[in-house]
Amino acid sequence: MKKAIAIILLAFIAVELFVVFYKIPFGADRMNVARFYLENSPKKLGVANAVTAIVVNFRGFDTLGEVTVLFLASTALGSILFRRREIHTRLSHLRTSVEASVIVRIAGRFLVPLIILLGAYVFIHGHLTPGGGFQGGVIIATGFLFLLLAYRKFTIEHRTITFVESLAGITFAGIGLIGIFLGKTFLENFLPAGKLNDLLSGGIIPLIYIAIGFKVAAELTGILDTVLSISIDVKQKEIESQTEKNE
């Protein structure tokens, strides 16, 4: 039965693809869509990074789906680890008692602010240079990972992370809904496009990327803190158990 259903689905997809490609005349120019994006990104949106215009504006609904998938993935991982967070301590003895080397701690004082600043720069300037909210959020999360590794007493307040993540998601969806209320489509630009290559350009695109940057940074930071706390605590218990056996 399963094989029959799979064969039927594959046949249906094959027929649909054949019909679509059959309607395209042989030798016809297939770059119309790409040309539209490249020509209208700087004209209509004042955006130098065409990929940004496609992801956040022209195909903004797809990006909403990507953010939703990321949120669901982080929620699922948090649900799986919730039970283990109840069993193991939130801050393990190893993280409390053992400090990183002096070099790592001193480097953290100077590098972490720069890492966070770099992440913010990447998503704020996403419409002008390669980068964006996803990349900038990951960079910021690595800065907090550095703090977790350098300072074993450093803790992440998950209530704050949840608030930031929720606020960023509401901002993202809210900006899209404002466009609908103004008679446009979801995430269609409703602000002045500005001048090309200026920081205050791109309409709603910089606002969207700032929201995505905060959301990605909050989600990944929370996951890293949870996984690191549990894994180190488990490792400590394994060491203690092995020591008891040797004795």
- Tell me if 172 sits within 8 A of 215, measured CB to CB: yes
Q: Per residue in 42-68, pLDDT tens? A: 877 778 788 888 888 777 777 777 777
Spatial distance between the Cα atoms of 78 and 82, rounded to a whole number of angstroms = 6
- Band (pLDDT 50/70/90 cuts) for residue 91 is very low
The total number of residues written for the chain in this structure: 247
pLDDT value at 76 more than 70: yes
Global pTM exceeds 0.85: no
Q: Per residue in 22-32, pLDDT tens? A: 777 766 666 67
Spatial distance between the Cα atoms of 134 and 81, rounded to a whole number of angstroms = 24
Average pLDDT over residues 156-175: 85
Cα 98 to chain centroid distance, Å, stands at 32
- The structural domain count of the chain equals 1
Domain that holds residue 169: 2-246
Quick one: pLDDT at residue 140? 93
pLDDT value at 236 more than 60: no
- Which residue bears the tokens 């966070």? 116
- Band (pLDDT 50/70/90 cuts) for residue 246 is low
The greatest distance separating any two alpha carbons of the chain, rounded to the nearest whole angstrom, comes to 79
Q: What is the mean pLDDT of the chain?
A: 77
Helix, strand, coil shares of the chain as percentages rounded to 5? 75, 0, 25
Q: Per residue in 106-150, pLDDT tens? A: 888 889 999 999 999 998 888 888 878 888 999 999 999 888 888
Spatial distance between the Cα atoms of 145 and 41, rounded to a whole number of angstroms = 36
Quick one: pLDDT at residue 151? 81
Q: Which residue has the higher pLDDT, 138 or 85?
A: 138
